[in-house]
Structure 1
């Protein structure tokens, strides 16, 4: 998408639950306020520090019917959507980041051919402790998330991978290198 010769970049950040996606996106936003973090709509009550709009299933259905979502998917028994308005900064040449799902990448790529993906990984024990600290799930639900085999990223989709197994400074440095590979 372009405006005045500028091309915006759409970046999907994916990774297993507890890998630290939101933490790294939030830190990157502090480092570069020009980034736009696309706020998701999720069919769950408001909680935690993740910026999202809580919707009921009926509200989500109404948004779908009104074609308000540019992207939407199901994961972990919930429904997720990103409104067209949240992607509008692409038209201003800005980089837009969203916390996505591997299951939605093929569809996102078909709509946004310049999509690139940053996959964040972390050791399972570290992920489990991060998920427990969130306090949203039972130990059985956490164990099920840790045991899941992730869907692979579609072949040919630009992919950068980082391991978020250290402190925030190290994770942010790795994330920034993936987000801005030409400046590293």
Structure 2
């Protein structure tokens, strides 16, 4: 039995990390949340991730230990091949995915892939980005423009304007 790979996507500030954190708190016997391997400090950002140096990241990639990997926002991101074992064991797996790299996930997981897009209205997204205080006004405007550009096709859509 093959589980589903739930590829969770959405712009910065859409609530992906909050949703994943909430899923981790609930006992789910058939749902696993995959950690991403990222070339950033463990304390940076709000995501529960595994911090790697670029050397460590490329060593893992070179040994085919990453099922999927991509470069975005000056960082390298990867998802370990352990997700393949989990899927083949029948578990559903949620991944904090990249909108721009959805085609890569589709090519590898085909019918096992369930793309889910979190959508947030532009005014709520702006408010969330301003409240977290990590970006200046110019960076927020760039994120909002990028959010408007990247709306994947054939994606289950969840509106996340409210609270969890």
CA contact (8 A) 2:23 2:33 kept: no
1:161 to 2:162 alignment:
no
Deviations 1:47-79 (A, max 9, x none): 244111112222211111111110011222221
Distance 1:64 1:30, change over 3 A: same
State the secondary structure of the residue aligned to 2:101: helix
1:40 to 2:36 alignment:
yes
Mapped to 2, the partners of 1:140 and 1:45 lie a distance apart of 24
Instruction: Report the count of equivalent residues.
Output: 160
The correspondence for 1:11, drawn from 6, 17, 20, is: 6
Mapped to 1, the partners of 2:88 and 2:70 lie a distance apart of 23
Offset at residue 29 of structure 1 (A): 3.5
**TM value normalised by structure 1:** 0.78
Offset at residue 85 of structure 1 (A): 1.6
Which runs of 4 or more aligned residues in structure 1 lie more than 4 Å from their structure 2 counterparts after TM superposition?
A: none
CA RMSD of superposed structures (Å): 1.9
Give the match for residue 172 of structure 1. none
Mapped to 2, the partners of 1:96 and 1:164 lie a distance apart of 20
My pick for the range that moved more, 131-140 or 33-42, is: 131-140
My pick for the range that moved more, 106-115 or 85-94, is: 85-94
Distance 1:144 1:116, change over 3 A: same
Offset at residue 166 of structure 1 (A): 1.1
* Structure 1 portions without partners, runs of 5+: 1-5, 169-184
Higher relative contact order (CA 8 A, sep 6+): 2
Give the match for residue 150 of structure 1. 149
Give the match for residue 116 of structure 2. 118
Mapped to 1, the partners of 2:73 and 2:45 lie a distance apart of 17
**TM value normalised by structure 2:** 0.86
Distance 1:91 1:122, change over 3 A: same
Mapped to 1, the partners of 2:53 and 2:123 lie a distance apart of 33
